[in-house]
């Protein structure tokens, strides 16, 4: 069974401050090692549980945070951007299950470092009238490829808002949020142990009964995006196919989930013009 592990950083145990997520400082260098360690825990658990192949997708920021020389050599890394499928790149390579490691709650929630895709640009995102964060968006993209999310890790707010969206997933709670940049964390050692054990058990369960294909999102996808400012909505409305609905909101229709996610990622890239 081939597994894709998509790894973000904000949900990793011990990560609480934006400085830990931004390159070119000592706190980030430490955090990326914690991120790599949790990725390795998921890799180990997947292989012990019976995985035949593992791809690891670096899914934070510039998509080049994981330390390739410290990754379990049995896995192959998906690094760098731009890439068409973003945080889910690799799912199209014949994968049969996805692990989401180090994920976080959606924007406007009380989760640790909560945001959706781009904290500078996006306030809230809805697909078909349902508000989603990154796990919901990319879980829907995986479902469009017929691939279920089997394991997810992050803080307690992330787990609570995401369980219903990913009904086949087992959740590992790495920390409890007490604010946007505060909370109570497992030690990195214990977080890695919990992730490895859950990955192993999920894979064993798949060996006994292969996971069913997830239910795909209804198409076409009606997307509504609330920008952080009216200036950003001005910018986004320049893109053909987008309709301005109020001072800070634009909407568009995606023929597929992939189309909708790719449009969001294009808007995120456009927002750099106003930084």
- Which parts of the chain are beta strand (E)? 2-7, 53-58, 76-78, 97-103, 122-127, 130-131, 149-155, 170-179, 182-185, 221-227, 243-246, 249-254
- Within this chain, do residues 166 and 234 fall inside the same structural domain, yes or no? no
Contacts of 146 (CB under 8 A, 6+ apart): 213, 214, 216
* pLDDT over 90 (residue 64): yes
pLDDT of residue 70: 98
Based on C-alpha coordinates, what's the Rg of the chain? 18
Other C-beta atoms closer than 10 Å to the C-beta of 84 total 11
* pLDDT over 90 (residue 210): no
- Within this chain, do residues 150 and 266 fall inside the same structural domain, yes or no? no
Percent of the chain with pLDDT over 90: 99
- Distance, in Å, from the CA atom of 171 to the CA atom of 50, rounded to the nearest integer, reads 19
Can you tell me the mean pLDDT for 259-270?
98
In angstroms, how far is the first alpha carbon of the chain from the final one?
43
Average model confidence (pLDDT) for the chain?
98
pLDDT of residue 243: 98
- Within this chain, do residues 233 and 142 fall inside the same structural domain, yes or no? no
- Distance, in Å, from the CA atom of 121 to the CA atom of 242, rounded to the nearest integer, reads 16
- Within this chain, do residues 145 and 33 fall inside the same structural domain, yes or no? yes
- Within this chain, do residues 170 and 245 fall inside the same structural domain, yes or no? no
- Distance, in Å, from the CA atom of 233 to the CA atom of 262, rounded to the nearest integer, reads 17
The two structure tokens encoding residue 200: 């192993």
Does 128 fall in a domain? no
Residue range 97-129, pLDDT digits in tens: 999 999 999 999 999 999 999 999 999 999 999
Between the alpha carbon of residue 221 and those of residues 61, 242, 261, the distances in Å are 25, 13, 10
* pLDDT over 90 (residue 187): yes
- Within this chain, do residues 198 and 231 fall inside the same structural domain, yes or no? no
Can you tell me the mean pLDDT for 203-213?
93
- Within this chain, do residues 150 and 269 fall inside the same structural domain, yes or no? no
- Within this chain, do residues 15 and 95 fall inside the same structural domain, yes or no? yes
**Whether the Cβ atoms of residue 165 and residue 143 lie closer than 8 Å to each other:** no
Number of domains in the chain: 2
* pLDDT over 90 (residue 221): yes
- Within this chain, do residues 73 and 40 fall inside the same structural domain, yes or no? yes
pLDDT of residue 240: 96
- Distance, in Å, from the CA atom of 236 to the CA atom of 243, rounded to the nearest integer, reads 9
* pLDDT over 90 (residue 45): yes
Q: What is the CA 260 to chain-centroid distance, rounded? A: 16
- Distance, in Å, from the CA atom of 55 to the CA atom of 43, rounded to the nearest integer, reads 9
* pLDDT over 90 (residue 212): yes
Does 214 fall in a domain? no
- Within this chain, do residues 246 and 150 fall inside the same structural domain, yes or no? no
Domain encompassing residue 244: 221-274
Q: Which of 208, 232, 257 is the last residue of a domain?
A: 208
């Amino acid at each position: 069974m081939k597994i894709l592990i998509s790894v973000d950083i904000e949900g990793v145990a011990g990560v609480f401050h934006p400085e830990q997520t931004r390159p070119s400082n000592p706190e980030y260098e430490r955090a990326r090692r914690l991120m790599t360690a949790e990725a390795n825990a998921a890799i180990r658990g997947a292989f012990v549980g019976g995985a035949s192949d593992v791809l690891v997708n670096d899914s934070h920021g510039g998509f080049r945070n994981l330390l390739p020389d410290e990754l379990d050599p049995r896995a192959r890394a998906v690094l760098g951007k731009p890439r068409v499928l973003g945080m889910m790149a690799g799912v199209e390579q014949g994968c049969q299950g996805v692990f989401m490691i180090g994920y976080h709650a959606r924007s406007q929630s009380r989760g640790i470092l909560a945001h959706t895709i781009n904290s500078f640009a996006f306030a809230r995102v809805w697909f078909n009238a349902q508000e989603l964060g990154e796990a919901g968006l990319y879980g829907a993209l995986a479902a469009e490829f017929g691939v279920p999310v089997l394991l997810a890790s992050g803080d307690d707010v992330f787990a609570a808002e995401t369980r219903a969206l990913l009904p086949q997933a087992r959740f590992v709670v790495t920390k409890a949020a007490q604010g946007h940049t505060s909370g109570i964390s497992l030690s990195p050692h214990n977080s890695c142990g919990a992730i490895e054990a859950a990955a192993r058990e999920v894979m064993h369960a798949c060996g006994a009964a292969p996971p069913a294909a997830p239910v795909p999102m209804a198409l076409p996808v009606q997307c509504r995006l609330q920008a952080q400012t009216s200036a950003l909505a001005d910018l986004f409305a320049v893109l053909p196919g987008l309709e301005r609905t109020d001072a800070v909101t634009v909407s568009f229709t995606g023929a597929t989930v992939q189309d909708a996610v790719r449009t969001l990622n294009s808007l995120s890239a456009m927002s750099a013009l106003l930084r």
